[in-house]
Amino acid sequence: MPQTLRSSGIPFLDDVPWGSHLCVFYETLDDLIDAAARYFEQGIDNNELCVWALPAAIGGDVAATSLNAHIADMDRHLADGRMRFITPTDWHPPEAASGLADAFWRGLFDEALLHDYAGVRASGDAGWLGVDEGRDAALYDVAIAQRLAGRPALALSTFDLTASRGSDVLDITRLHGLTVARRQGEWHPFEAPSWNTAAGLEHALAAMAATIPGYDHLTDRERMVLGFLLRGSSSKEVARDLGISPRTADFHRANIIEKLGARNTADVIRRVLIRR
């Protein structure tokens, strides 16, 4: 498949090849709608079949009205099927129904070919990852990648920052170089430095320090603990690796949260990973 670059419409992630899986963390529904409108506007302009798996918080009428305010002739595009809404189950169903999902996606590609569309541009919300059914970011990413492989298609996964766990933010950022955040009307690139070694982590933190409010108030030990938290370590793991008690690790964690002005550990991770 030719590696033709496509405009994604998403700041910091523009001009991506077919087969790309983009990720956007959002804070409000307005942020989500703005991201979707930018993404699908480019698809409409570039003759692509556009498909949005609507999150539970946005119904079809709301989505249509919102997109119509951003994209010219959206009512017509919805009427002729060039832009359509599907369910979250169509986007990524339970593992037991994966065969049905594959058939659904093959149908989209066949339809795009039949109507001479340049390709398929799809988006779906992934805020339910890791809940109830034990799905995780890695398995989800593999499933999306398999559906995009060798196809003229783009996928955009969206994640609710207010509902995402710290581990979700870490997992998605590690898996994807194509990740940004939309927070209260502003776009923020994610930084995903190499944290595989202590030296790499120390270098990454030093590079980001100037952009983390309150970082200069952390002690050397608190900065070390912060590094472990960014790697997804628990208090027990921090205690083991630093030779301290879990209670002391929790004490350092609490100090980090307070000094960085965060609400909890997940909020600490978001503040560090999202450059302000």
**d(Cα 52, Cα 8) in Å, to the nearest integer?**
14
Chain-centroid distance of CA 119 in Å reads: 22
Domains and CATH numbers, the chain: 5-189 (3.40.50.300), 198-273 (3.40.50.2300)
Query: Going by DSSP bridges, is the β-strand pair 48-53/179-183 parallel, antiparallel, or unpaired?
Result: unpaired
Please name the helix (run of DSSP H) or strand (run of DSSP E) that holds residue 66, with its range, or none. Answer: helix 60-70
- Per-residue pLDDT tens over the stretch 193-223: 444 445 455 555 555 555 677 888 888 888 8
Average pLDDT over residues 56-84: 91
- Per-residue pLDDT tens over the stretch 86-114: 887 777 766 545 566 678 888 999 999 99
Task: Please give the residue that has the higher pLDDT: either 35 or 204.
Answer: 35
Average pLDDT over residues 229-248: 82
Task: Please give the residue that has the higher pLDDT: either 78 or 146.
Answer: 78
Q: Which two tokens stand for residue 75?
A: 């009512």
- Global pTM value: 0.70
Give the amino acid at 167. S
Report yes or no: 123 and 155 within 8 Å, Cβ to Cβ. Answer: yes
Does residue 131 surpass a pLDDT of 80?
no
Residue 242: band (very low, low, confident or very high) from pLDDT cuts 50, 70, 90: confident
